Chain A
Amino acid sequence: MNGWQALDRFLRTDPRDVGCGQAMEVLHVYAELVASGEPAEERYPGIAAHLHACGPCGEDFDGLLAAIRGETH
């Protein structure tokens, strides 16, 4: 990705983005769906949009997913 694309991507906002509050509220539900291979993005498109755009929530999601997978494997 070049600088132009990176800037363009950063500035793009997704109207489906639910924000941090709602994403944090259901992060455990979303993470379990992803861990079990369910179509989490289809079921929660607003959460998926947020996790793609929000660094801190995306980081928390990655951590939770790693925790679940570490426990189950």
Chain B
Amino acid sequence: MPSRAGDRTVPKGLVLPAGLDAESAEWVRALAGAGRRRDAALARLHELLVRIARGEAARRGPRLAITGPELDDLAYQAAADALVAVTGKLGQFRGESRFTTWAYKFVIFEVSAKIARHFWRHPAVPLDAEQWERLPARFGADPAHQAEWGDLFAALRRAVDTELTPRQREIFVAIVLNEVPLDTLVMHLGSSRNAIYKMLFDARRKIRAALAANGYLNHDPAGRS
């Protein structure tokens, strides 16, 4: 709990969401208040956010080329930024979940953003490279059957070149061929996750339609269905 039990003082002007559980209500009262009560709640929330950020960084760590103190720094930065976001948006908490779940969402997003920023600064491959030769392996095509995939992947490349807008093509190449993390591309292009996802979504739909129109998606070239 963020403050001493039983203190139900409601800061002036604060309207608690209806149906809020007792612990969440206490978090909101304390964080919306002032003085030592708020300071204690902020310290407790920061402690929780650091714990969640470190756990999330450790969960993702094995798949990242970030380890040790660098990963720990990333977690602390994420927790600090999440604390600012949570306190700044406290008035937007509508009580649809427990307060802590809502707060954890911010720190998870911050961990994602910090990891994306790391890969933007240290890209594994140039963000604008075109590694078409990696395409079959990207989809796990068995090297023993790659010759059978030749037509399909040639058709896929044609669809990418002829059906997509330049922006859709750029995003498809970066994410699918070069395996640039979507959030890293968001930073590179100064865009949003939603906008990049929508462009990739439209690109996928167009490519699939083109492949289907040319008879490529109604059979498995390796003889499997």
Chain A contact residues, CB within 8 Å of chain B = 1-8, 10-13, 17, 19-21, 24, 26-29, 31-32, 53-57, 59-60, 62-64, 66-68, 70-71
Contacts and interface: CB of A to CB of B under 8 A. Distances in A.
A8 B217 contact: yes
Contact of A59 (B55, B112, B139, B221): B112
Contact of B194 (A6, A19, A31, A62): A19
Chain A to chain B: the 3 pairs with minimum beta-carbon distance, closest first: A3-B141, A11-B208, A20-B194
Contacts of B102: 28
Interface in B105-148: 105, 107-109, 111-112, 136, 139-142, 145
B194 to A, nearest CB: 4
B26 interface: no
B194 A64 contact: no
Contacts of B187: none
Contacts of B108: 60, 63-64, 67
B211 A67 contact: no
Interface residues of B, number: 47
A30 B111 CA distance: 19
B197 A54 contact: yes
Nearest to B96: A29
B101 interface: yes
B183 A56 contact: yes
B162 interface: no
Given A3-B140, A11-B204, A66 B220 contact: no
B27 interface: no
Nearest to B200: A54
23 contacts: A2-B140, A2-B220, A3-B145, A3-B149, A4-B149, A4-B221, A7-B156, A13-B204, A20-B194, A28-B97, A28-B101, A28-B102, A29-B96, A32-B97, A32-B98, A53-B201, A56-B197, A60-B109, A63-B56, A64-B101, A64-B104, A67-B107, A68-B104
B205 interface: yes
B165 interface: no
Contacts of A64: 101, 104-105, 108
Of A13, A19, A56, most B-chain CB atoms within 10 Å: A56
A7 B149 CA distance: 11
B167 interface: no
A11 B136 CA distance: 14
B140 A21 contact: no
Given A12-B208, A13-B201, A13-B205, A56 B112 contact: yes
